[in-house]
Amino acid sequence: MSADAAARAAELRAQIARHDYRYYVLDDPEVPDAEYDRLMLELRELERAHPQLISPDSPTQRVAGAPSTAFGEVVHQVPMLSLDNAFREDDVAAFDRRIHERLGLSGELDYVAEPKLDGLAVTVIYHAGRLERAATRGDGVTGEDVTANVRTIRAVPQRLTAGAPPVLEVRGEVFMDLKGFERMNAQARARDERVYVNPRNAAAGSLRQLDPRITATRPLRAFFYGVGVVEGMALPDSQHALLARLRELGLPVTPETRTVRGVAGCLEYYRALGERRSRLPYQIDGVVYKLDGRADQERLGFLSRSPRWAIAHKFPAEEALTVVRAVEFQVGRTGALTPVASLEPVFVGGVTVTNVTLHNIDEVRRKDVRVGDTVTVRRAGDVIPQVVGVLAERRAPGAEPVELPARCPVCGSAVLRLEGEAAARCTGGFSCRAQRQEALRHFASRRALDIEGLGDKVIAQLIEQDMVRSPADLFRLSAAQLTELERLGEKSAANLVAAIARGKRTTLPRLLYALGIRDVGEATALALARHFGTLERLLQADVAAIQQVPDVGPVVAAHVAAFFASPDHRAVLEDLQRQGVSWPDMPAPAAERPLAGRTFVLTGTLQSLTREAAAEALTARGAKIAGSVSKKTSYLVAGADAGSKLARAQALGIPVLDEAALLKLLGAE
């Protein structure tokens, strides 16, 4: 490697970091996107030619993390507290009065006012100016390690500017702006994939992806507003100066922050921002006031869950009146009948609402919702529309109460409601088209058998044309059959057949989750698989034996036992195996884990199983999965199109396994 190559790589990284700073912190880009992309491409090519130049904080490594099978825990050295809420102007005045009384001060105080972003709180730790760890708030004491995912967010600098202290922990909010959210959902709809309800859910779901490559495709942004642990740097004496210091270090801070004087200044800011709220590029649900003097902040201290020197002034939930056109019952995957009110379209909370769930028949009766009623609709917290209540004085004479149907509105099977349960359920099982459709959607989902391309519209057509009556029927489909469906050409059909074939090789936890057993999520499926080791042992277990599984109570145990006692369900499992669906057994709990103490890194594309499934299988045998190659790596698993990790492993002399060697190691051959 020449000195010129190293110097050019350093220069490119500095240029890219400067452009990121101008774009995300100053909101003043100085080059077009094409020039930015050209710089990034040159750096990638340079690092490809000289793998020893690659460093963890290089901008090319933002997307390089491998899928993780779980998030580790991070204990916050300084707890991440929440804020008390103010809903009325009197609450803000009372907050100011308490500060005056505790500090023994008179006269108006200065506050820093900023938007309360509707995102996900995170903390990011920098050592010697380099991003080392990032975590979610969690319960305030312990959060989830999302370092690999936060590294993919371009707004979060990998390295701070010169002058950064030895240790700096910054707190902020990861969010998704409205344009990015709409663009992401539009692309998902075009691919028949899941769409998110709102930007907050999208941001939270994106940040908690187990595969950081997925997070990297999401339009996430971040603003920082405070600090945790700081070593080697004297903090400024005011909140507004602290924010200015964070900006100097290259961290994005919301441009809407203002220093205001007294309660009057706080309320003026609140009203002005409320008027502009719908025009902001991101969602907010209120404003935050923080006492500006940091010495006074320290004197005031904290309550058990919130600081005494800050408060969130929430915007009121937006409400509107509309009329109930109809109440229909939708049938879900487990057969639960959910009443949904069809409304006269009403604009509330920034969106037009046409349908709203009424949850269950007890909720309908409690609120006494009837067809033709005028109701108040609220978008509480700008998230989920709900019917608050009925204006009984506007009710038309003779309006009939809504009744739970005795028969399923989809298949006509009997509806059963067990004593003590809120939900009523269709008893039709797979003979019910609605349940079959939802069950197949779940079966093919990413965390289940991960059949890419099998979206809602394709599944709906397969059910409508009676081409698939059970999950096993998916594996009988041919490309010729699929080309008969709308919007599926020969290439798309061939790709879907290939994706279905890849889904045949799975793991026992994924299979159990995919079956859609009532109340069995991913964690319970994994616990069942680890406890019994094989499907055969689970099939032979009774309720008492299943209840021995950690965290499985009597209700879930009964659901699991009932599911596998069903001849229909056993027939589906046998059919799946006849169609070639297979999975390795889990190591018995008492058995020695053959890969304990070894660290694996996965790269490239595997043909017979997904990298996520491979990671799960390795973890089940005691291995640790890492996201980057280092001297501590035991093996690199390299599939097709392996990139810089392969070059780095070869340079370090780390053993490289191809797919055949991996399958042999897992005992799958």
The catalytic site residues sit at 116
SS3 content of the chain, % helix, strand, coil (to 5): 40, 20, 40
Contacts of residue 238, Cβ cutoff 8 Å, sequence gap at least 6 = 110, 292, 293, 294
Strand locations in 555-596 (E) = none
3-state secondary structure of 245: helix
Judge contact between 329 and 417, C-beta under 8 A: no
Judge contact between 126 and 170, C-beta under 8 A: yes
- Give the count of beta carbons closer than 10 Å to the beta carbon of residue 323: 15
CA atoms of 609 and 169, how far apart (whole Å): 39
Torsion of CA 103, 106, 112, 113, to 10 degrees: 110
Distances (CA, A) of 165 to 23, 54, 157, 161, 294: 24, 24, 15, 10, 19
CA atoms of 316 and 453, how far apart (whole Å): 41
CA atoms of 282 and 116, how far apart (whole Å): 11
Amino acid at 455: G
In the structure encoding, which two tokens stand for residue 45, read together? Answer: 């090519």
474-477-482 Cα angle (round to 5): 115
In the structure encoding, which two tokens stand for residue 461, read together? Answer: 């057509």
Closest CA to 202 of 182, 172, 225, 228: 182
Going 138 to 144 to 149 to 155, the CA torsion angle's sign is: positive
DSSP at 65: P
Judge contact between 165 and 231, C-beta under 8 A: yes
Phi, psi of 323 (to 5 degrees): -120, 140
3-state secondary structure of 124: strand
Residues in the chain: 669
Helix axes 554-565, 567-578, angle to 10 degrees: 70
CA atoms of 262 and 264, how far apart (whole Å): 5
Closest CA to 393 of 420, 375, 378: 375
Contacts of residue 218, Cβ cutoff 8 Å, sequence gap at least 6 = 176, 180, 184, 202, 203, 206, 209
